[in-house]
Amino acid sequence: MPPPAGITAEAWLVADAGSGAILAAHNAHLPDLPASTMKMLTALTVLPGLPPDREVTISDQAAQVDGTRVGLVPGVRYTVRDLATAMLIASGNDATVALVEAAGGREAVLDRMNRLAASLGASETVAGDPTGLDAPGQHTTAHDLAVIGRAALNDPIVRGYLTIPRASLPGRGDERFEIANHNTLIGSYEGTIGIKNGYTVAAGATFVGAATRNDRTLIVSLLRTAPAYGTDARALLDWGFAHAADVRPVGRLAGPSDVTPGDPTTAGGAVAPGAAPGGTGERAGRADSRGAGQDGGSPPRRATTGDAGDVGAVTWTALAVTVVATALTVFGRVRRRRGVAGRATGRTTRSGSGSAGRWDAAGLGQSGGRRGRSTTPGKVPGRRGHRRGTNRTRRDSAAARARRERQSVVEEYQATRSAASAPRPRTDANGQRHLVGLPSLHPEPGRSRTDSSRTDTPPFGTARSPRP
pLDDT at res. 69 = 95
Decide: 258 and 276 in contact? Cβ < 8 Å: yes
If we measure between CA atoms, which residue out of 191, 183, 140 comes closest to residue 161?
Answer: 183
Catalytic-residue membership of 353: no
pLDDT at res. 209 = 98
Please check whether the domain covering 11-267 is classified as CATH 3.40.710.10: yes
Strands 77-79 and 55-57, bridge-based pairing: antiparallel
Contacts of 326 (CB under 8 A, 6+ apart): none
Dihedral angle computed from the Cα positions of residues 46, 52, 57 and 61, in that order, rounded to the nearest 10 degrees: 30
- DSSP character at residue 319: H
Decide: 266 and 286 in contact? Cβ < 8 Å: no
Peptide bond into 195 cis (omega under 30): yes
Angle at 205 between CA 68 and CA 258, to 5 degrees: 105
* Options 19, 91, 188, 221, the catalytic residue: 91
Q: Which helix (H) or strand (E) segment is 358 a member of? A: none
pTM above 0.85, yes or no: no
Catalytic-residue membership of 39: yes
Please name the amino acid found at residue 236. L
> CA distances (Å), 453 to each of 154, 442, 443, in order?
120, 16, 13
DSSP state string for 246-308:
TSPP-EE---GGGS-TT-HHHHTTPPPTTPPB-TTSSBTT---TTTTTSSSSPPPPPP--SSS
If we measure between CA atoms, which residue out of 10, 265, 295, 279 comes closest to residue 123?
Answer: 265
Dihedral angle computed from the Cα positions of residues 355, 361, 366 and 371, in that order, rounded to the nearest 10 degrees: 90
Q: Which helix (H) or strand (E) segment is 391 a member of? A: helix 391-421
pLDDT at res. 192 = 97
Catalytic-residue membership of 221: no
**Residue 167: strand, helix, or coil:** strand
* Options 39, 221, 374, 379, the catalytic residue: 39
pLDDT at res. 331 = 75
Q: Which pLDDT tens digits describe the chain residue by residue (468 residues)?
A: 888 899 999 999 999 999 999 999 999 999 999 999 999 999 999 999 999 999 999 999 999 999 999 999 999 999 999 999 999 999 999 999 999 999 999 999 999 999 999 999 999 999 999 999 999 999 999 999 999 999 999 999 999 999 999 999 998 888 999 999 999 999 999 999 999 999 999 999 999 999 999 999 999 999 999 999 999 999 999 999 999 999 999 999 998 855 543 333 333 333 333 333 333 333 333 333 333 333 333 333 333 333 333 445 655 676 677 777 777 777 777 676 666 555 544 444 444 444 434 444 333 334 344 444 444 444 444 444 444 445 666 666 777 777 777 777 667 766 666 555 555 555 555 555 444 444 444 454 544 444 444 444 444 443 444 454
What are the two backbone dihedrals, phi and then psi, of residue 230, each rounded to the nearest 5 degrees?
-60, -30
Angle at 276 between CA 244 and CA 260, to 5 degrees: 140
* Options 19, 36, 119, 221, the catalytic residue: 36
pLDDT at res. 405 = 75
The terminus-to-terminus CA distance of the chain in angstroms comes to: 103
pLDDT at res. 448 = 47
Contacts of 348 (CB under 8 A, 6+ apart): 358, 359, 374
Decide: 373 and 367 in contact? Cβ < 8 Å: no
Locate all alpha helices (DSSP H) within 77-218, ordered by sequence: 80-89, 93-102, 106-120, 142-154, 156-162
Decide: 376 and 386 in contact? Cβ < 8 Å: no
Dihedral angle computed from the Cα positions of residues 439, 441, 442 and 445, in that order, rounded to the nearest 10 degrees: 30
Angle at 338 between CA 334 and CA 341, to 5 degrees: 135
Decide: 267 and 298 in contact? Cβ < 8 Å: yes
pLDDT at res. 289 = 34
272/266 Cα distance (integer angstroms): 6
If we measure between CA atoms, which residue out of 6, 20, 17, 3 comes closest to residue 243?
Answer: 3
Q: Is 196 annotated as a binding residue?
A: yes
**Residue 23: strand, helix, or coil:** strand
If we measure between CA atoms, which residue out of 22, 26, 20, 21 comes closest to residue 4?
Answer: 26
pLDDT at res. 3 = 87
